[in-house]
Structure 1
Amino acid sequence: MADGGWSTIESDEGVFTSLIENLGVKGVQFEELISLDADTIRSLSPVYGVIFLFKYQRDQSPETPNTPLDGTYETNPPDNLFFAAQTIQNACGTQAILSVLLNQDNTSSTPYPIDIGAELRSFKDFTTGFPAELRGEALSNSETVRTAHNAFARASPFVDETVRTARDEEGDAYHFIGYTGVNGKLYELDGLQPYPISHGECDAGSFPEKVIGVLQRRIARYPEGETRFNLMAVVRDLRERAREIGDAEMLEREERKRRAWEWENTLRRSNFVGFIGEVLKGVAGTKEKEGKFDEWIEKAKGETEKRLRRG
């Protein structure tokens, strides 16, 4: 990983939850949504927003510079709306997350304000009043946010995730954006757009239907059969709800989920190349001592050829 770079991270509820906890955020988690269903979102209430991952279509551009494909540009956004331009590669997931969190930390947006922690509070206070481009630059230069983000980079001694090649540019590109309610409006916060996009009036009660409608219209612009989308809700820690209502079964289920996330994230951070190499050396040494090394190699070649023929 190159110094100062931002690595690609996986779109995963456990990764995102651990990432924001590393930044000092308390009482928030991510829940993957399997279907575009308003009732599912409502069942997770309070929902602070959703993070949408989609295949970026370079040929889909607004009809005019002043008109997005859906909604309207908020060219004079309110002072309390946090919006940052995307100025760095590979960090759109973290930027979409922050776009929701930093707009849900006060009672004007939600009855359950998010405790964003000292680091993000300092960052938000510092960038208050900045234009979107300058906020994006401040984010790109935040060592705290970059370190938390890169902690979940894929561990590989062979690939530098911060370096993009011509082949990368020609392949499929994916992008994250956030949707959240601020000041009684539903906002689409996409750092690649010049302004926040307003989708009209929206309160906590109407948020599920409103955001699902926006997402359905967006997905409808893709060719039929396109399924490469991912949607996650940003919700209050479900363990807190379980404790409040005295649901022991729900609490145990959520605790098991957290243990699974912790284990999976440990594996993501681990590089097993050295371990695998030592195992192979040990097996090869044993076969050589037994005088069966050549036989073992030939057998492996034969099995590989069989698999290739079946494929």
Structure 2
Amino acid sequence: MAEAKRKWLPLESDPAVFTEFATKLGCSGLEFCDVFGLDVDLLAMVPRPVVAVILLFPIEGETGELANQEAHKEAGGQGSGSVFYVKQKISNACGTIALLHAMANNRDLATFQDGSFISTFVRDCEALSPDQRADYLDKKAEEGLESAHNAAAAADQEGGEGAKPITEEEMNTDLHFVCYVESEGGLWELDGRSRLGATRVGDCTKETLLEGAADAIKKRMASSASIRFNLMACTLSQD
């Protein structure tokens, strides 16, 4: 990943924060919920339909990243014109990138408010490359996106008796968000840091997206010594 010019506050893996952040960016019709485990019984508890899955996991060095990318090469290759993919060039912006991936790849199901950030972003970036989309976001950071992200990141720090300023150690987090979506019968991992771009990691249908993502995540977890994994599902609003 190119050296970041900006460094944002890290987002928490919190469904309420992601749902509210999506709303503030102009998206309605989508909401997030926790996935408490990868067993069949726990997956069955998740509201349907699931239209995206967001994973928070620990970055375990260059060797681990390259091994995971090689595994993904074997799983099905990279690149799809039907998948909306954005590179990440802003440090700690992975939560926002994952959210944008979830929203942009479900623009046919969600409602984007006219003139909102997400509506304008998808419209302006539809024909751009992933790198050009990243540059667009860098420009938009100065126009309010960074402050919106940081407000979402600080949401859990405000209003509670135990609230405290974020530490330098927390700013230098080794945790990273990626998003999984379905497109044309494929399960796609969208990781803004990846050298491979949008990567097909398996097969699934719209109905089996969650189960397909769970299988891919199990493989990632099996090669990790860490237990710091958090999983959220993006579903259609139940209202």
Fold match (TM-score > 0.5): yes
1:42-84: per-residue Cα shift (whole Å, max 9, x none)? 5411111110001111131325987647634324x21x32101
Give the letter for the 1:125 counterpart.
Answer: R
Does 2:54 align with 1:51? Answer: yes
- 8 Å Cα contact 2:187/2:203 also seen in 1: yes
In 2: Cα distance, 1:71 partner to 1:39 partner: 26
Q: Which runs of at least 4 in structure 1 moved beyond 6 Å after TM superposition?
A: 64-67
State the match for 2:107 in structure 1: 105
Give the letter for the 1:73 counterpart.
Answer: G
- 8 Å Cα contact 1:23/1:144 also seen in 2: no
State the match for 2:18 in structure 1: 16
Which secondary structure state, in structure 2, belongs to the residue aligned with residue 90 of structure 1? coil
1:182-227: per-residue Cα shift (whole Å, max 9, x none)? 222110000011211102332122223211111101100012xx32
In 1: Cα distance, 2:48 partner to 2:76 partner: 27
State the match for 1:126 in structure 2: 124
> How far apart are residue 136 of structure 1 and its match?
1.2
- 8 Å Cα contact 1:63/1:69 also seen in 2: no
Give the letter for the 2:85 counterpart.
Answer: F
Which one has the largest radius of gyration? 1
Q: TM (normalized to structure 1)?
A: 0.63
1:117-154: per-residue Cα shift (whole Å, max 9, x none)? 33212111111121111111212322343232121233
Give the letter for the 1:200 counterpart.
Answer: G
Q: 1:145 to 1:116 in 2, by over 3 A?
A: farther
State the match for 1:146 in structure 2: 146
- 8 Å Cα contact 2:98/2:177 also seen in 1: yes
In 1: Cα distance, 2:181 partner to 2:40 partner: 15
- 8 Å Cα contact 2:10/2:93 also seen in 1: yes
Bigger share in helix? 1
What are the within-5 Å matches in structure 2 for residues 20-39 of structure 1?
A: 20-38=22-40
Unpaired runs of 5+ residues, structure 1, are 107-112, 241-311
Between the two structures, name the one with larger relative contact order (CA 8 Å, sep ≥ 6).
2
- How many equivalent residue pairs? 221
State the match for 2:93 in structure 1: 91
Q: TM (normalized to structure 2)?
A: 0.81
Match for residue 137 of structure 1 among 132, 135, 138: 135
In 1: Cα distance, 2:164 partner to 2:29 partner: 37
